[in-house]
Structure 1
Amino acid sequence: MALRSVPWLPPPPPPLLLLVLLVVVVPCLAAEGGEATVEYLVNVILIQNDHLPWSLDKVAPFIALGIEHANRRLRSAGLNAHISATYDSFISFSENPQKVCIDTDCEAKEKLHAITENNLLGCAVIGPTCQYAAYALLRVIKRYERMVVSAGSFGLSTTFVPELTRTLLSAVKVSTFFVDFWRLVQPHRKPVAWSTAYVLSGNSYNYDVCLWYIQALLENIKVASRNKMFNSTKTELDNQLIEVPTLDKLSNALMMRESNVVIFCGDAPHIYNVTSSLEKSVKNIFQELVFVALDLFGGGHVAAEQNYTIRGTVLMVTLPTLNVTLPVAEQHINASNAKIPHVNKFAEAYYETMLIYGDFLKKSLQDGTFTCSSTDATAMRGKNYIGKDRMVHIDENGDSEGELEVLYLHNNKFHVVWQYDTWKNTFREVSNLSFTLPTDIPEREENHATIIALFAISVIFIVLILGFLLLWRKYSVERQLRTQRWVIPWVKLGDLPEDENNSTHEVHQRKLSVYFVPDGSFESDAITKKKYDNKVVMLKPLSVYDREFTNTQKRELCLLISMACDNLNKFYGTTVGGIGVTYAVTDYCSRGSLWDILQDEVTYPEDTLMDWEFKVSIMHDIAKGMVYLQNKIGAHGRLKSINCVVDSRMVVKVTDFGLISEREDRDRSLKSTPRPENAVKEKIISYAQMLKARTRGQNKLFNRFIARRSNPCDEIRPTRPSSKLWMAPEHLRAGGVSPKGDVYSFGIILQELLYRRGVFYIRDGSYSESEITERLMCTEDTERFRPTLEESVIVDKTGGSEMFQMISDCWDENPERRPDFKRLEGILKRISNKIHQGHGGTYVDSLIWRLEQYSKNLERLVEERTHLYKRERDRADELNYQLLPKSAVMALKAQGFVEPELFDAVTIYFSDIVGFTTICKHSEPMEVVCLLNDLYKAFDAIVDSYDVYKVETIGDAYMVVSGLPRRNGAHHAAHIADMALDILGFVGTFQVDHFPGLPLWVRIGIHSGGCAAGVVGNKMPRYCLFGDTVNTASRIESTGLPWRIHTSTSTVKILTEIESGHVFEERGRTELKGRGTEVTYWLIGKEDLTKTLPVPPEIDIGHGMKGEFEEMIKDLKRRRRRNPRAPNRRPRTDALVKVEHPLEYLQILIPPPDHEDTLL
């Protein structure tokens, strides 16, 4: 396709030459080693029409001049780059008979296709200016991946297009100017901000440009500036733009005008036409109007100043002039004898556009980021570029920033008075001209008679409305009283599932119990839990029997049911139990009261969950609930931490409010009764006797209620603090309730929440509840008596003294000086925001941080509990290992039972104390216990040195086995034999504490054979041995002699086979009960034995001790009586009977090496 010829340009080069210049982009070597210049082609596509200021023939010379200056800058920067351009035009506009810029979508496709086919597609497209043409081009440019740079395309439809860069101010920028100018306030020129205006949209002046700015002003204001001044909603007269399509309709609108400001597009001649026409139609108000004319690209205010006189207050908004000259273009014009092109602001804008593009190309080539694609448009944004004697900033949307000038008409001449920077959104005064703009809200002249009539009619209407409302309210109240909305039938209350009820019974037993405090009032949220309307509710007993409420109380109940606030505990109504007791039905809050939470420092630790920010949040919740409550019913009267309950979401709710008359009646009745709990109990019982039929659920509730009254544990259960500790001093003295009294109670709750030391905490003294009450009631104290409140602590936590001053004000002795809850809520909100800002981040960050702290606290608790569990598990295992073999314990833990086993070869040891019965006869019981304890501890120490298992001790009998449960081959006999020698050697030196000098004769028997072993029984399980070997070992022991080790033939055989080195002495044939006679042996030593064995006595002593042994004991007792001062070891009974603290479980105390005592 041939290039379109332009009169002032030389003939274009042949297409083949352009193709060569475009394709040869890779630098080629020139003469003497230089580098060739790289051509960067741009495609100029504009509409050709003599009626438009941006026509191709009017703008192209300035584009060529801009390219020439841009190339100079490239050469000055040392870059071998050269910008060249092709010129083409849309022809659809020129052929359009209406001379209106129309959609040229098809032509845009054809133009780009032809350029591409001729290999002339450059790196960027310059233009078009027309909104429709630009929109059509941008729809097809995506497939070619090229950027578009336009000094036009002002409308909203081409905003936020990634391929487009606009070098003239867009409609969005101009709309933002109007918003900021309407907000502008300057005492000497614009005393007040404006908020309204008429917009004349149907304007013939420069229609194609004006259309897009007016449209953006009417549409974009709602999006970009909805929080500033304008609003298109016509129901708010103070915030609106009123669109008027024609001048005639504007005249009619100004007769009943809603604004004094008129916005329209127009130069000086057009302004004259508009103002002249309006001056004739609205002459009486003409001087109050302000005309704001939008003439960004014209210069009519300069050319027409001397031709006619414009009346009225006129402002004009325009762009500053760049003053571009065309010395080079004039040479082309003279050479071609063409007409000198007119310098307009579009021509200047396209000149600067090429300078901006050249500066962008220079920076991109220097950075190596130039891609010659549509991504260059994105890279061009957010940066500054050198234009015509100024810096031009391209914002993140691809729109250039610039300046607007506001001109004021004075003496028929326009003067620049403000310059507006679209980048900084600021105004700068550039003239000392003195003038004052009127307000935008018209001042109407009113008819006083009409006003009086309207006022009278309004008063009559209001009185009628109020009368109707009063009658309707009275009727509604009576209807509510008749319908009894507060009545809940008992059958609608269901029982909770057993698993749900039992799971929380122990946890909340303290929270759900009914307390009688010293003032005689009920201190609980309810007596029981029920299910109502799929919600868990609480039932609290009232003093009214069978719902016998007064009319005042009924109206209060209607009001309570209608109250709905997130920080008030929901009241559903009342119900009557089977015994005539009336209950109030309220929401159930699973975490109990705030008082319960403050006492529980384990579940709610101070530095994690209950941090300072969370405490302020609790205070804020209570304050919000009290603001709503006092607006509805006036006063709470019993505000305290016990009556602030916390739900599962940690939201604090105020409860136990309302029914003040019922509460006063109850208090009076309780004060007149010396024992309130007994009186209530007797009254309930009398009611129960009167009622003959009760349902099952009602009967259960009655029994539970009576059981709680009769429970002896109530006498020892700790009671909650008295309500008087929260009560204001004036109410302690004179009674009654008031909103200011609630403020005082709120201050007590705040101090309780800050310190967590209980209600009315005093650091330097300990006062009882009665002493605190007496001092509060006393009026003679020169200094008011209040809880501890340290300013330094509170200031350190909150970063200010607001909290300290707020609590101090709540405790003021004069109720009138105390703040109300609305003010308290505002203070707490400021404190909360200050704390949150100090932490940084968003509210979500704060919530996540609190959850992390709570999680860490839970992890710490789990770790502690796990450590305790492991310690107790190890101690339990240690105890089990003392009672059962380790293999049996592991089997029990793994599978719940122990498989019995059969062992082919084991050796069993039995021992017995000779004469033990006689020793017990002459000893105290504790002396016998100490004797066996000392003896068996020594035996146990010896047993631990061998591969043996202690089976049991029964009285003075001691049983040990080797070879089970762990098999050890044939060494079981050697282990038992060595252990028996050690035990015998120890017994020979053992002294009885209470019979010094009395020998302790032990009889030992060992036998080898097979047996079965296993754990038998569920209670007190023992690892028992079964078989003839056990019986034979017992017979071997019972037929032995003191200080002798009686051994069977089977054991001797095994020891001989393994050559253990033990020394035996044949005893001969011995009669064994149940087995006949067998050859047995005495084990008398071992070859390498170093211990000294005791010498067996030569007397024949049977089991039970003969007379000689008993005489020895009697002789020792006589000598002890004759010499009472003889050293005698006292039995150690402290470890056995004196226990300072009760044991929670059986303990096995293992002594350290330097400690000899062990508690079994």
Structure 2
Amino acid sequence: LGRIKIFVLKLSNHPRWNDPKDQRLSPCTLSSFLLYWVLLAVLTLPRSVHCRTYKLGVVGPWACDPLFAKALPKAAAQLAVDRIRKDSSLDLGTRFDYVILNEDCQTSKALSAFLRFSELATGFVGPTNSGYCDAASFLGKNWDRVIFSWACVNHELDDTSSHPTFVRTLPSPTRVLLSVMKYFRWAHVAIISSDQDIWVDTAGKLAAALRSQGLPVGAVLSMGREPKTVRQALRKIREVDKLLIIMCMHSVLIGGEEQGQLLEAAHDLQMTEGGIVFVPYDALLYSLPYKNTPYPVLVNNSKLQKAYDAVLTITMDSKQLSFRQALQESVRRRELETSIKPEQVSPLFGTIYNAVYLVAKALDNNRKHRAWSSGANIAKYSRNVEFNGFNQRIWTDRQGLVHSDYVILDMDGNGNELHCSHVLDLGADLMRFTGRAIHYPNGDAPRSDPACWFNRGRICNGGKVAPVSLGIVLGALISIVLAYFIRRRVIQLRLVRGPNKILLTMDDVTFINPQLSKKKLSFEDSRIGDGRMSFSEARSAKSAALSSSLKSLTPATYENSNVAIYEGDWVWLKKFPYGDFRRIKPGTTAVFELMKDLRQENVNLFLGFFYDCGLLAIVTEFCTRGSLQDLLSNQDVKLDWMFKSSLLLDLIKGMKYLHHRDYVHGRLKSRNCVVDGRFVLKVTDYGYMEVVEAQRVPLAEPKVEDFLWTAPEILRKLNPFHNGTKKGDVYSFSIIMQEVVVRGPPYCMFDLTVEDIIQKVKKPPPVFRPNINPDHAPPECIQLMRHCWTEVPERRYNFEEIFDQVTGLHWGDGSLPPAPLPPPFFRSVSESLKLGNTVEPEHFDQVSLYFSDIVGFTTISANSEPIEVVDLLNDLYTLFDAVLDNHDVYKVETIGDAYMVASGLPTRNGNRHTAEIANMSLDILSAVGTFKMRHMPDVPVRIRIGLHSGPCVAGVVGLTMPRYCLFGDTVTTASRMESSGFPYRIQVNQSTVKILQDLNEGYRLQLRGRAELKGKAIEETYWLVGKDGFTKPLPVPPQYKPG
């Protein structure tokens, strides 16, 4: 605009622009002079001249339905637009116009056409077909176009958060019907419609809306045009106890032939002789004239006249002028063509007029609030407006609800006029009786239903007699009780059978003779007393075990042992010495299922619950090195700072995981931290208090020394043993940290009794904590310890912060435990690493992975010297490595007894990767069948193997001590295939099976069945049992019994 003004100044020879050098813009000609005045006139035009046109699309089946066409939508919209333009109170800020948009009478085609209407209109009045109102509203939301509709039924459309661009131009038909039904207490409803889509869909939506209000809507039927189909529909309705029949079709009073057929058929079936009321639905959508308005259709058909005595018409009221009088007035004013005859026009004309005018009022309101003319804003500002409709007053409230009075019209069965009996004021929710009673056929008014049908939130028996209701209630109670016992039985079976078995019995475990240890394992020595089989005790049991091999272990009784063998591994039973163990309570079962889901390297694995012979015990993995307290007190074990920091980091990881899963330990101490054969620390006794509370087991009085690890704020409570908190766990960790740092009991640097220490901690000032010599640990470690035992719980770190602190510190010379040695890399990776460069990760579309481990390795380690375990793994992996040399495979890594191999990377080999892995697995399994341990030659080494094929990403992690690692779901699934397998078995996933079958090289596979993979869905897996031409002997696997 600024550039145009400058241009005009130049053209006008303004002194500022009178530049003799610029001859191109000199106004020396008449044409330049004229151009100047034209541009000036354009700039001075009013703003409204430049505004865009707001074009309103009036949507309806105007072309396919002659009765809808009788509403004269073009004339109605034009009349409204003409009056809007003349209304001086309206300032729309835009040119207002309309376009008539035809929708098909079939819902699907109507919706398809509506999709194209976005290019033709800025806003819409419609749709008329309620079958696609939801879709139209969502489309309007997406287009940001407002939707004004009188025909939509769904109450969900009133939710402005989901439908911000939808507006009703009439009160909801459901709302009007509910008000009338509530007044007369008519709850039982049937709905019948013509076979046109527009009315069938309306009937379905109306039924859903009434049912959502708790009303017993029975039959919802549609009828054809044949008299036979009409009678069939009415007979179905008559079979059910119905008081109100809503007719979704064109009213017979405006030319609807289907409704005339329906009423005449109802008369023939004696359904119009009292007790049943018929209500025309379409009259709710307009103002049907009734004052001094005869309807010839009732005079010319005596049967229909008598049948119409059973009809109550609910329609919009017109206080001053009826629809026909208002139409005649418009014709008289020359606003409409003089050829229009009011008696031939559908009253829907007025509804269309009112809708268009409401849009204009919304635009005016939107402009007054200086809001952007978006669909949502126009819908928002359609609220709280009032205007004179075509022949009645229309207003909306602050919630957007449209208000207008309705009347109930009746006839006496003899005349041809309708009379008003009641007026419904929706704004006040009030029904007023006009003094003229409703004339029911034969004086037989429909019976009233119980008022409870209209009280939301109450259950209504529908007026049935008390014994029937009592029988229904008793039947429901019996069903609930039976369902409870059946569910309880199913849960019990699931606990003792299948892969998710939690409850163990004497049939599942074999107790190890307590003679294997130096002293008898009793309740005082068990973890109930927070004791643990020590490292030295486990070592002393070894000689007895080896003398007769694992199979010759003499079974002990549950009364004198806490150690047992379960599925080939040693387990520890933490017994509950007191309580009633006749049954497992439901709350205890829920706790078990939650504990079973805890899987983390530094959390001692919960295996189940032993429940047999009146004994209750928690079953966990047995850790051969005993508790952390045992390890710290064993002077034969050398603990440098690197070793100590590794133990502390394991403890932090375990507690971090438990707190992340919202588990509060509450009893954390060094006796509840156990160490396995690989010197990995694991947190145990988690969930103990939850089991105690769920099973209601009485606890033995705790020893006073057990409170050395308890936080001061918990000590001050009445029952500190039952009040664990996450901050209390952090305090307990700091005391354990002191034990590890000084390698001594809590507060060992003070010459005080346990009772005195606890009293000093419990009742400051001064604050009493361990005194650590700075020579025992790096200053960062001591600072972290002090931060964790601070007196104010809120100032203590959580385990997330502790982990971040520890991994970010370098404690002394060692820091964290060293990383494992890197595997041998292929040449390209080696060269890059030598140059100090990073190696870009690479995606492989298809590889095959092998995982294996030794079944019972924990038990073997517990009965072996460390050097013997090293020799075992070295001999076994040397054997495996020799097998690998004969196949196109790549050894990824070994972790403990786990062995991982891949094929198809780093060098791709097409589909051969699956065959190479399968052939290698068979060779390894054959070699293991004859393998002997040097120190235990009579004990077989049993491995389980898992294979899986799929995509993965491979790359080198780190520059110092780098490792070539594989990532992706394929790695996880392959590991799960191994861990869910069985000894001397090769378990194969379906993806691998498909490739092996495509290769057609004679691999023999057996269906295992459906196996549950941890963290995965239940899948069908297979056993690889051989190959055509493979003649090497394979070890015989143990028999597998499903379940």
For normalisation by structure 2, the TM-score amounts to 0.37
For normalisation by structure 1, the TM-score amounts to 0.34
